[in-house]
Amino acid sequence: MSPFREASLTALREIRRNLGSTKGIAMFVLFVLGGSVPSLLELAAVKLLGRDPTQGMSPDDQRMLLEQGLARVYPEETAKHLSYCPPILFLLFQLTLFFAPFFVLLIGFDQIAGDIQHRAIRYIAGRSRRESIVVGKALGVWAVISVMLLVLHITVWIVVAATGTTTAAALLSWGPRIWLFSVAACASFAGLTGLISSFFRTPIVALLVGVVVFVALWIIAKIFGWIEATKVAAWALPFKYEDLVVSHQPLRVLGGIGAYIGWGAVMTAAASLVVKRRDI
Amino acid sequence: METEKAVPDATEPAAPSAADAPPSEGTPAAEGSTSPSESALPFSATGQPAPKKKGKAKLKASDKPAAIDLKGVVKQFGNVTAVNDVTFEVPDGSVFGLIGPNGAGKTTTFSMLAGYLAPTSGEIYVLDRLPTAVDELRGQVGVLPQDALLPGQEKVGPFLVYLAELQGMSPGEAKTAVESVLTEVEGLPWWNMRCGQLSHGMAKRVGLAQALLGNPRVVLLDEPTAGLDPRVAYGVRQIVRSRKGRSTLVISSHNLQELEEICDYAAILDRGVLVAHGTMSELTASSHEIRIELAAGPVPLDAVRTVQGVTTAGWDKASRELSVTFDRQQADAEEMIRRVIYVLYQYNARVSGIAKGRGLEQRVMELTE
């Protein structure tokens, strides 16, 4: 049997297991609720200001205002490109990038550590290469988070369509793209989660260490990005790849998606090596 | 055991000589292909247990090819040596017991056979492959790990189907195979139950079912009846017995009576060292020792010593047990029982019980600390 077949069988099992478990259902509900956060934020802003800040502005003026704001963070061309994205979807993307590592961690922290703790992995290890088990689990977690993100994003799309704050064309053009970028970003975090989980026998330890590692990497990435001399080093971490996927250049976008997935693949390969060498 | 020489009672009749012994039906061939002197067992020439000698035991030659082969296997956890220089073979098609007290290294050895643990040094081959060669061994080795929990959130049927598919079966074949093994362990009604809802006995049987999936050539069972009530344990033993001859079975267990009943061969481990191994009859000395319990009355020890074929005879006053070792080239155990009983009958000794060998439990107690 090929390793791909082994990995796909394990991935399908992980999907079934996650979506059918209490934890999976709780996460699913959390994601649906999370989908309404950007909409609630928009409504809250309107309420706090007492009026819609864009009230009375033409769509072009609104876009120009957004572009000016984005230009503070992104290069001019990228800011212009992103100004066409419905703000609520862009906000959703930012929130996803910020929270995704923790969502992935919550779903996958016990994927390997949990099986090693209770030795359930022994039922599988005699039938499948350990590398395939790790890859299958990572793919399974990635697939589950992708489905949950889709639910979250669709919730936002529905809210946006219902409130009429953006055009259907913009929604159809940017909605799936933003979801795809979010999914790609999650590949990195699914890989890293798998690697962290592979080191430990106790899932809660994997979870706590995972939180520390994710926060530490996020801080390191920010520091690298601020200091001119270390800006190049920031590309070693997935947080930087956002610059690529939001680009107006399709090749850079593809490069960014590839970088996210590639980084996740490297982490998964490292996790495979750890599990292959360790006693189970 | 306190062993002392018994002095014949003054009232005892004169001991019949060897020539007086009942006519023999001939001298049957010795059991097995190895003479006692070649045995891997640590016995002295007198038939009494030799002083404990910890170290690598020599493997008894077997006519059968080895399904499992361990050569100088060592496993260390940090500074602790859990298994030290263990060498033995498991003959193909046999039922092999892995025996020893807690901390003897049984489960560690078992885990290395299953590929869960990597040996620190030495070599292990299962069906001439490394235990970690999953692809080459796919579907040929089934394992019941001792303390591995079934995934609590998953349903029994789908989980076993997943395992069967990993063994290379198509979804249809997998479902059929799972139904078959669940039927064998009387667990088919549990198909849609979550593994976490199973009782200990049910979970053990599901574990056994997954080990038997696809009729593997080698089945490794770690404590298959531990913690089970007698009825379920009996059922599990029956399942294992039914596999005899179809697979090579390696069973690690504390239940020595169970192993003595089921196993053809066994290895006894103590503190990580192999202290004895061989056929079950060799381990229990059932092929060259008989034990006769006598009720109050005469103990014609000297007369027994003169019986043709007897090499030693001892008397344990406390247990009132007469132990007789014999040259199995001259007679098998049944023939020797006949001869000795004849002599005892002549001396009016009153026999309470007869046993071949010492019993595995006693042997293990002698060999381990």
Whether residues B278 and B260 fall in one domain:
yes
Domain harbouring B303, CATH code: 3.30.70.100
Whole-angstrom distance, CA of residue A256 vs CA of residue A184: 9
Q: Specify if B265 maps to a domain.
A: yes
Whole-angstrom distance, CA of residue B276 vs CA of residue B268: 5
Q: Is the predicted pLDDT of residue B57 greater than 50, yes or no?
A: no
Output DSSP code: residue B273: E
Q: Per-residue pLDDT tens for B288-327?
A: 888 899 988 888 989 999 998 899 999 988 889 898 988 8
Pair B32, B288: CB distance under 8 Å = no
Whether residues B253 and B345 fall in one domain:
no
- Helix, strand, coil percentages (3-state) for chain B, rounded to 5, are 30, 25, 45
pTM above 0.90, yes or no: no
Interchain CB contacts (distance < 8 Å): A and B:
69
Q: Specify if B313 maps to a domain.
A: yes
Pair B300, B347: CB distance under 8 Å = yes
Whether residues B91 and B115 fall in one domain:
yes
CA distance B54 to chain A (A): 27
Predicted local confidence at residue A130, as pLDDT: 93
Predicted local confidence at residue B2, as pLDDT: 36
Select the residue of B141, B151, B158 nearest A126 (Cβ to Cβ): B141
Whole-angstrom distance, CA of residue A114 vs CA of residue A119: 8
Q: Specify if B121 maps to a domain.
A: yes
Whether residues B269 and B304 fall in one domain:
no
Of the two residues B48 and A186, the one the predictor is more confident about is: A186
Q: Is the predicted pLDDT of residue B45 greater than 90, yes or no?
A: no
Q: Specify if B4 maps to a domain.
A: no
CA distance B111 to chain A (A): 9
Q: Is the predicted pLDDT of residue B50 greater than 50, yes or no?
A: no
A25 at interface of B, judged by CB pairs closer than 8 A = no
Output DSSP code: residue B194: B
Domain harbouring B198, CATH code: 3.40.50.300
Q: Specify if B276 maps to a domain.
A: yes
Q: Is the predicted pLDDT of residue A216 greater than 60, yes or no?
A: yes
Q: Specify if B198 maps to a domain.
A: yes
Look at residues B265, B148, B169 and name the one whose alpha carbon lies nearest to residue B215. Answer: B169
Q: How far is CA B28 from CA A196, B24, B286, B333, B336, in A?
A: 66, 10, 15, 10, 11
Q: Which of B256, B283, B310 is the last residue of a domain?
A: B283
Whole-angstrom distance, CA of residue A128 vs CA of residue A54: 58
Predicted local confidence at residue B46, as pLDDT: 32
CA A46 to chain centre: 28
Predicted local confidence at residue A12, as pLDDT: 93
Whole-angstrom distance, CA of residue B251 vs CA of residue B330: 34
Chain A residue with minimum CA distance to B76: A279
Q: Which of B249, B283, B317 is the last residue of a domain?
A: B283
Whether residues B106 and B182 fall in one domain:
yes
Predicted local confidence at residue B177, as pLDDT: 95
Select the residue of A20, A277, A280 nearest B153 (Cβ to Cβ): A20
Pair B181, B216: CB distance under 8 Å = no
Q: Per-residue pLDDT tens for A31-80?
A: 777 666 766 776 676 666 666 666 666 777 777 888 888 888 888 888 88
Q: Per-residue pLDDT tens for B208-242?
A: 999 999 999 999 999 888 878 888 888 888 888 88
Q: Specify if B228 maps to a domain.
A: yes
CA distance A126 to chain B (A): 6
Of A85-99, B37-51, B171-185, B259-273, the least confident: B37-51
| Domains of chain A, residue spans | 3-277
**Range(s) of the domain holding residue B208:** 66-283
Whether residues B216 and B103 fall in one domain:
yes
Whole-angstrom distance, CA of residue A4 vs CA of residue A9: 9
Look at residues B115, B108, B116, B113 and name the one whose alpha carbon lies nearest to residue B133. Answer: B115
Predicted local confidence at residue A38, as pLDDT: 64
Average pLDDT over every residue of B28-50 = 34
Average pLDDT over every residue of A124-130 = 92
Whether residues B259 and B342 fall in one domain:
no
A273 at interface of B, judged by CB pairs closer than 8 A = no
Whether residues B199 and B107 fall in one domain:
yes
Whether residues B162 and B114 fall in one domain:
yes
Of A49-53, A262-266, B141-145, B165-169, the least confident: A49-53
Q: Specify if B160 maps to a domain.
A: yes
Output DSSP code: residue B39: -
Whether residues B357 and B266 fall in one domain:
no
Whether residues B270 and B295 fall in one domain:
no
Q: Which of B248, B283, B318 is the last residue of a domain?
A: B283
Q: Is the predicted pLDDT of residue A82 greater than 70, yes or no?
A: yes
Q: Is the predicted pLDDT of residue B5 greater than 60, yes or no?
A: no
- State the total domains in chain B: 2
Mean pLDDT of chain B: 80
Whether residues B221 and B274 fall in one domain:
yes
A201 at interface of B, judged by CB pairs closer than 8 A = no
Token code pair at residue B275: 């202290």
Of A94-98, A149-153, B365-369, the least confident: B365-369
Q: How many residues does chain B have?
A: 369
Q: Per-residue pLDDT tens for B320-347?
A: 989 898 887 888 888 899 999 999 999 9
Taking every pair of Cα atoms in chain B, the longest distance, rounded to a whole number of angstroms, is 80
Backbone angles phi, psi at B221, to 5 degrees: -120, 115
CA distance B227 to chain A (A): 18
Burial (Cβ within 10 Å: 0-12, 13-18, ≥19) of residue B247: buried
Q: Which residues of B252-269 are buried (b: 16+ CB within 10 A; e: fewer)?
A: bbbbbebbbebbbbbbbb
